[in-house]
Amino acid sequence: ILWTFESILKLQDAMAYALQVRDERQEETCRKLNELGFDITMEEARAEAHGNPVLCRAHFAQIMVRKGYAASVKEAFSKYLSVGCYAYSNRQALTGPEAVSLIREAGGIAVAAHLHLIKMPDEPLREYLRELIPYGLDGIEGYYTDYTPDMEQRYRAMAKELGLVISGGTDYHGANKPHISIGKGRGELEIPYSVLDGLRQRHSEIYR
């Protein structure tokens, strides 16, 4: 066992800080939506979360739909809340190397997820991932709800080239994404059991 009690506490502190930054990010999103003329408050967003202390963009999207500012949650994201849109906040608590190092120090498997949202062409993305490997990057997400078949093929090939394992995610978010259920993503996406086997093998190789 390579990790220590101190490394677990360090990860917990980092997670607490990340939640704080996440709250600041939602406040910035709310302010930007107000600047666009939308009458939305943080109090409404918290009420939309129904007691969940973690606010996310989906809560704002649902308010926008209810108030008639967007026809659907998807439209709210594509026009205002997604990466590159005006109301998107890019505040981050940790850099890639910091996040990967913390995960590995705490005995976890570090995987880069949602690669399409990094917004890099394949070659710069490959180099970015390669730079994270010395910090302990173990894998990349090869299955994901919003990936196209071409993305899946490219990212899995990238993982093989870099010697990384593959993870998968349906992006289940409960009532925020009613079209997605646990273990089954959009369309026919199902994560094969072999993905879990690969992650377990990677873990056993690192933490013998």
Nearest-angstrom CA–CA distance, 186 and 188: 6
Burial of 60 (0-12, 13-18, 19+ CB in 10 A): buried
Phi, psi of 8 (to 5 degrees): -65, -45
H helical segments located in the chain = 5-35, 42-48, 57-66, 73-76, 96-105, 122-132, 149-162, 193-206
Beta bridge partners, 166, equal 140
Beta bridge partners, 110, equal 137
Query: For each of the chain's 208 residues, which pLDDT tens digit applies?
Result: 456 788 888 989 999 999 999 999 999 999 999 999 999 999 999 999 988 888 999 999 999 999 999 999 999 999 999 988 999 999 999 999 999 999 999 999 999 999 998 889 999 999 999 999 999 999 999 999 889 999 999 999 999 999 999 999 888 877 767 778 777 777 778 888 999 999 999 999 988 7
What pLDDT sits at residue 72?
Answer: 93
Instruction: With CA atoms as reference, report the closest residue to 57 among 95, 94, 93, 83.
Output: 83
Instruction: With CA atoms as reference, report the closest residue to 165 among 198, 117, 207, 127.
Output: 198
pTM, two decimal places: 0.80
Phi, psi of 78 (to 5 degrees): -65, -30
What pLDDT sits at residue 110?
Answer: 96
Q: Please, what sign has the CA dihedral across residues 9, 10, 14, 17? A: positive
Q: Which secondary-structure segment (H or E) carries 112?
A: strand 110-112
In the chain, what is the greatest distance between 2 CA atoms, to the nearest angstrom? Answer: 56
What pLDDT sits at residue 127?
Answer: 97
What pLDDT sits at residue 143?
Answer: 93
What pLDDT sits at residue 3?
Answer: 67
